[in-house]
A and B are shown apart, each in its own frame.
Chain A
């Protein structure tokens, strides 16, 4: 059973960058799509983007294009999500989740990482 473990909470100032990690125990990320979803306080889920099994190809929702980077370290079975130019509206819990290729559903999910952007 694949499990995803994310890095701990972060507090950042506006304009800074943050990197959140998502580590798998079990099958390699090379066999999965890795999606990122965020949830602002008291709000709904928002799909951000996906890293393809190649570890190179990505796709992002329009709101995140150019500001979010997804990378993978195969040696540590870890995927990284970096957001630049943080603003207060980026305060949210960020989740990673895997998708077996071309199945269209996300399972399992990481436990979530709270990123707080505050001056």
Chain B
């Protein structure tokens, strides 16, 4: 399976909202409600921010939200803060116990 497509970079000012897209196919994103999003700071392990398209794990800020339409999932970060500057990856179940990650998006706070 090919990597899911994400924009290479997205930027925003503190307090603003940004949205990161994640485009796949009907065999992954469009076929299952099993999309998760991970935040990764430099030299750190990824951390789950969203699962099952739009659910937040305990302890994750409600400034993070997820959605999906067709073959494209989205992560929205509202009220941008300095600590949100990181790389973000989407991940989708692809059937038959396979998973695929997105290409990754670097979020920059202006």
Interface residues, chain A, with chain B CB atoms under 8 Å away = 35, 37, 44-47, 50, 52, 59, 61-62, 95, 97, 103-107, 109-112
User: Which segment of B15-23, B67-75, B92-100 sits at the interface?
Assistant: B92-100
Which residues on B sit within 8 Å (CB–CB) of A37?
46, 101
Interface residues of B in 42-71 (CB under 8 A from A): 45-48, 51-52, 57
Q: Is the CB of B45 within 8 A of A104?
A: no
Which of A45, A59, A111, A112 interacts with B89 by CB under 8 Å? A45
Number of interface residues of B (CB under 8 A): 26
B binding-site residues for A, Cβ under 8 Å: 1, 3, 32, 34, 36, 38, 40, 45-48, 51-52, 57, 89, 91, 93, 96-104
Partner of A47, one of B32, B34, B52, B100: B100
- Can you name the residue of chain B whose Cβ is closest to the Cβ of A102? B34
Tell whether, in the assembled complex, residue A44 and residue B97 are in contact, meaning their CB atoms are under 8 Å apart: no
Give A103 to B55 CA distance when docked, in angstroms: 12
Could you tell me if A104 and B100 are in contact, using CB atoms closer than 8 angstroms?
A: no
